[in-house]
Structure 1
Amino acid sequence: MGENPVGGARVLNIPNLLSFGRLMLVPVFAVLIVVGQNGWAIAVLMISGFTDYLDGNLARRWGQTTRLGQMLDPIADRLYILTTLLGLAYREVIPWWLVLLLIARDAVLVCSLLLMTPDERRPLEVSFLGKAATACLLYAFPLLLLGDFDGGVADVAQPVGWAFAWWGTSLYWWSALLYLRQASAVLARRERLRTRPSGKAAG
């Protein structure tokens, strides 16, 4: 008999432990970036990016995908993005309006989720664009931190980091618009079902 890995009970598997480890490094990363320890902050970001790839890859390969893992992974991504944005803006590496632009995207999605029931949210798919946007942003941040140094490496890292940042921001909003289109279709279907007559009209 086939087994549904998403609904499985083994939540303490290696992929989920990697996700927990990423979450535990968030406050460490926040302190490093605020106090200006760029080298260590970049190292933590690189570890986070590698474990992000590794936990998803292992979960699919070993059939250990769980609902907990599906929740932990995006939560860790969002926390790293938010922490990095606030830290870089505090350090005046990026402008505050870019922070607001990215936070506004997540706020829009949260508001759309609040309008739906849990059963209505479940079928909504996480788009490839959203994952690509997150990957671009997670590539951008270490490069922007490197760009805050002096020297030839910084001169190269800064424009490349900004290129990833703009690509990531654009894809981030594009994926949000696709998600909102799915959400609006769900809400429209709910409204049609609510207003549909319960019985057949007489001929």
Structure 2
Amino acid sequence: MKLNIPNTLSLIRILLIPLFLWKFLSADTQLDYTFSAAILAVSGFTDTVDGAIARKFNMITQLGKILDPLADKLTLASVITALWIKRPYLWWLCALLILKELLMLVGGLRLHTRKVTIEGSKWFGKLATVMFYIIMIVIVAVPVLEDHTIAGLLLFLLMFMLFAFLQYALLFRRLLTNMHHNE
């Protein structure tokens, strides 16, 4: 299967994960944290660009429909887990963020098994992703942030992610209901 530009960018995002984890989890200088944040920024940039290129140049593929969300989920889970390792007291916030992603994955798989598709990501999902990258880049780049500041930033992120989750849950429900009415 030939990789086009958007799929290559999604693959690069997946390949950036181990580099980020290695650099962030072994970081002990400000330069290490800045480099870790830069890796995350590149990941966020490729996430934005791959979808835009795919839509603009009609490069949407079945592989891309799998690679892009896979890269999103793996990146989010990896970054959140790394933060959890660095700051174990945040376990409950990290667990909630990962649980939300797992529930989204289950919902998406349920739709997929019933041959129901969502055409592209929605604005609320994109907003949550942008907020994820902004907040995580700040947390990663500034290791001297106070614990309560980090917890506040993660709670703020959780609000965006829960909003997106609820919007997708309503959309999934509507799609499944429509499918049942059409049978």
**TM-score, length-scaled by structure 2:** 0.81
Residues in 1 aligned to 2:119 and 2:4: alpha-carbon distance in whole angstroms? 26
Match of 1:129 in 2: 124
Residues in 1 aligned to 2:47 and 2:87: alpha-carbon distance in whole angstroms? 27
Between Structure 1 and Structure 2, whose CA radius of gyration is higher? 1
Q: Which runs of 5+ in 2 are unaligned?
A: none
8 Å contact from structure 1 (residues 30, 83) kept in 2: yes
Letter in 1 for 2:139: L
Match of 1:95 in 2: 90
Greater length-normalized contact order (CA 8 Å, ≥ 6 residues apart): 2
The CA deviation at 1:117 is 4.9
The CA deviation at 1:98 is 0.8
- The number of equivalent residue pairs is 178
The CA deviation at 1:60 is 2.4
The CA deviation at 1:73 is 1.8
Secondary structure of the 1:121 match is coil
Match of 1:28 in 2: 19
Residues in 2 aligned to 1:114 and 1:49: alpha-carbon distance in whole angstroms? 24
Going from structure 1 to structure 2, the CA distance change for 1:43 and 1:117 (only over 3 Å counts) comes to closer
Percent of aligned pairs sharing the same letter? 26
Match of 2:53 in 1: 58
Match of 2:9 in 1: 18
Letter in 2 for 1:83: S
Residues in 1 aligned to 2:7 and 2:156: alpha-carbon distance in whole angstroms? 29
The CA deviation at 1:127 is 2.0
The CA deviation at 1:58 is 2.1
Residues in 2 aligned to 1:57 and 1:116: alpha-carbon distance in whole angstroms? 24
Of the three residues 180, 184, 199, the one matched with 2:173 is: 184
Match of 2:106 in 1: 111
8 Å contact from structure 1 (residues 124, 182) kept in 2: no
